[in-house]
């Protein structure tokens, strides 16, 4: 990936990333072990730090502890940046992470209003955790640092930093959907959350509709001047830019994996073990927003209405365990288990099993093999900020075959119009679109996939990073150290690429 342009963009500035979770989980035993965490943000930023040869990542270590905060050189085999751990108590984690973040802001952002729980003590815990992060950031700051805050867990952090350092360059990227004002307004602490976000110089979202929703909330609940065309909020002493930059993936990396002989062999083995002509794939973290239950119901309806496909098609659903401490997630797992059992009981025959359900994390090689093996990927979340599985599957289709079925409520749908669109709430629509995707003429599916692959490769993770980092304000005199490439020039160049 072309990270040289990003390091040139940073110049002599140090990138300081602040996120709720660290890029590694710290496991303590006889020996301390660091297990990499999985996620688009981690895979995006690690190569940037490595290319720059410096940087700081500030995050919760994953442990509930009152121990002194520590610094860990990463990556362990060839350190190029430092991880500063923020230690949180069990009470902090329970109130802020499992409380307001997971039971309040997460369902609110995804329009699951009925699941929202808003408790004052959890809001106080959320504010306290953001204050703990602010203290650590301020302790670690150096001149010319650029601070990039990640996601909704730390939404009030930019405001706290702005109060302490008026001229500090601060960016915030909100990785989940930002809801319409009529939904966001339900939040009892809507004003302080918005005010905290506006401590940033630039606020990023995946798609334009989320950015417009944020601007509408600022206009309605804070009464501040908003320019929808320019994407700005005017404060007393400055302006905040609000931008849409859809996150990409390491498309080149997925393509390389897909072409690897070992992955090709694994894919062939998966197909042989299924013993069916066609394979459908779903890959999700176990979460009610992903629409796994609705997807299973749609597949069941497809088998009911299309008996000719029985014994010809197998649906493989990979569900990665998530938030196992939360009761509603445990209930959802039971419901999925029951649905898989019901479908298998109804349709299994002559050694053919209609559904293979894998409830576990899948190593990268095995995931790539599943992408290569599948004729159709079902990416049907009920609501999703982006969904990188859709892009990963497309990048892995190196022969321009296969097809992607994509929920119209996923952020990825705005950038992949060639995918088969579906309303995941409409079970009959899911069933009919599965049939349409599996029977699509090869010429049509190949052309659609070719266009999607070209876009995913063009708008990759490097494109996203260059674009968003280019939105940061330049410190005075920085232009002389960065040649002719300033933020405005970069924005125009990236926009030109996007328009073509």
Active-site amino acid positions: 175, 384
CA-based max dimension of the chain? 74
Question: Under the phi-then-psi rule, with left for phi > 0, alpha for psi from -120 to 50, and beta for the rest, what region is 400?
Answer: left
Write out the two tokens for 194.
């918005």
Count the neighbouring beta carbons within 10 Å of the beta carbon of residue 289. 22
Helices (H), 179-291: 181-184, 190-197, 208-217, 251-259, 261-274
Smallest CA-to-CA distance from 284 within 316, 314, 257 is with: 316
Beta strands in 334-386 (DSSP E): 355-359, 376-379
* Torsion (CA) 428, 453, 290, 60 in degrees, nearest 10: 180
Q: Are 150 and 41 in contact (CB under 8 A)?
A: yes
Write out the two tokens for 277.
């002509």
Please give the Cα distance from 437 to 173 (Å, whole number).
34
> CB-based contacts of 345: which residues, under 8 Å, 6+ apart?
none
Smallest CA-to-CA distance from 110 within 173, 174, 155, 62 is with: 174
> How far from chain centre, in Å, is Cα 432?
28
Q: Give just the sign of the alpha carbon dihedral 465, 470, 473, 474.
A: positive
**Measured CA distances, 153 to 109, 328, 478 (Å):** 12, 20, 31
Question: Under the phi-then-psi rule, with left for phi > 0, alpha for psi from -120 to 50, and beta for the rest, what region is 291?
Answer: left
Write out the two tokens for 9.
């963009």
Mark 358-379 as b/e (b = at least 16 C-beta within 10 Å): eeeebeeebbbbbbbbbbbbbb
């Amino acid at each position: 990936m072309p990270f040289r342009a990003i390091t040139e963009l940073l110049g002599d500035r140090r990138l300081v990333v602040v996120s709720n979770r660290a890029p590694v989980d710290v496991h303590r035993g006889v020996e301390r072990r660091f297990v990499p965490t999985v996620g688009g943000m981690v895979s995006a930023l690690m190569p940037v730090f490595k290319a720059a040869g410096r940087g700081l990542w500030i995050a919760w270590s994953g442990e509930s502890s009152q121990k002194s905060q520590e610094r860990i050189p990463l990556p362990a085999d060839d350190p190029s940046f430092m991880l500063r751990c923020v230690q949180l108590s069990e009470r902090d984690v329970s109130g802020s992470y499992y409380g307001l973040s997971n039971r309040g802001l997460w369902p609110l952002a995804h329009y699951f209003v009925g699941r929202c729980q808003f408790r004052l003590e959890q809001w106080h815990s959320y504010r306290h955790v953001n204050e703990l992060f602010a203290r650590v950031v301020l302790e670690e700051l150096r001149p010319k640092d650029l601070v990039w805050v990640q996601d909704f867990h730390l939404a009030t952090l930019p405001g706290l930093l702005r109060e302490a350092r008026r001229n500090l360059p601060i960016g915030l990227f909100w990785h989940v959907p930002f809801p319409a004002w009529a939904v966001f307004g339900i939040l009892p602490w809507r004003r302080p959350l918005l005010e905290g976000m506006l401590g940033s110089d630039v606020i990023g979202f995946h798609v334009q509709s989320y950015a417009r929703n944020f601007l509408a909330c600022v206009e309605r609940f804070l009464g501040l001047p908003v320019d929808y065309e320019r994407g700005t909020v005017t404060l007393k002493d400055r302006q905040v830019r609000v931008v849409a930059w859809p996150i990409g993936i390491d498309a080149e990396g997925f393509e390389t994996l897909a072409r690897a002989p070992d992955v090709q062999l694994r894919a062939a083995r998966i197909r042989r073990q299924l013993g069916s002509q066609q394979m459908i794939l779903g890959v999700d973290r176990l979460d009610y927003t992903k629409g796994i239950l609705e997807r299973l119901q749609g597949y069941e309806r497809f088998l009911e209405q299309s008996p000719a496909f029985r014994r010809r098609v197998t649906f493989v659903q990979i569900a990665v365990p998530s938030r196992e401490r939360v009761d509603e997630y445990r209930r959802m797992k039971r419901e999925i288990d029951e649905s898989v059992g019901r479908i298998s009981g109804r349709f299994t025959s002559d050694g053919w099993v209609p559904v293979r359900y894998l409830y576990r994390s899948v190593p990268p090689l095995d995931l790539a093999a599943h992408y290569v093996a599948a004729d159709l990927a079902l990416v049907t979340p009920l609501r999703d900020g982006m969904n990188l599985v859709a892009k990963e599957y497309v990048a892995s289709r190196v022969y321009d075959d296969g097809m992607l079925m994509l929920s119209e409520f996923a952020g990825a749908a705005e950038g992949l119009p060639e995918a088969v669109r579906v309303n995941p709430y409409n079970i009959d629509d899911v069933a009919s679109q599965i049939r349409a995707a599996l029977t699509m003429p090869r010429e049509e599916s190949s052309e659609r996939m070719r266009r999607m692959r070209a876009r995913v490769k063009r708008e990759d993770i490097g494109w996203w990073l260059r674009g968003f980092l280019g939105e940061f304000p330049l410190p005075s005199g920085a232009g002389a150290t960065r040649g002719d490439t300033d933020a405005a020039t970069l924005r125009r160049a990236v926009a030109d690429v996007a328009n073509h």
